Amino acid sequence: MIAFFTWYLLITLFGLAAAPLAWSWLRWLPDRGWGLSRALGWLLAGFLIWFLGSLGFARVDRGSGIAGLLVVAALSAVVVSRWGGGWGTLGAWLRRHRALVLAEEIVFLAAFALWTFYRAHDNAIAATEKPMEFAFLNAIVAGGMAPPATIALR
Residues 111/52, Cβ–Cβ less than 8 Å: no
| Residue 61, SS3 per DSSP | coil
In whole angstroms, what is the distance from residue 103 CA to residue 121 CA?
A: 27
DSSP H helical ranges for 2-147: 2-25, 37-54, 62-82, 87-96, 98-121, 130-143
Query: Per-residue confidence at 59, pLDDT binned at 50, 70, 90?
Result: confident
Query: Per-residue confidence at 34, pLDDT binned at 50, 70, 90?
Result: very high
Backbone angles phi, psi at 45, to 5 degrees: -65, -40
35-49, 51-65, 120-134: which is most confident:
35-49
One-character DSSP codes across 5-38: HHHHHHHHHHHHHHHHHHHHHTTTSTTTTGGGHH
Given this model, what pLDDT does residue 81 score? Answer: 86
Per-residue pLDDT tens over the stretch 39-52: 999 999 999 998 98
Per-residue pLDDT tens over the stretch 73-118: 999 999 988 876 788 888 898 999 999 999 999 999 999 999 999 9
Of 75 and 60, more confident: 75
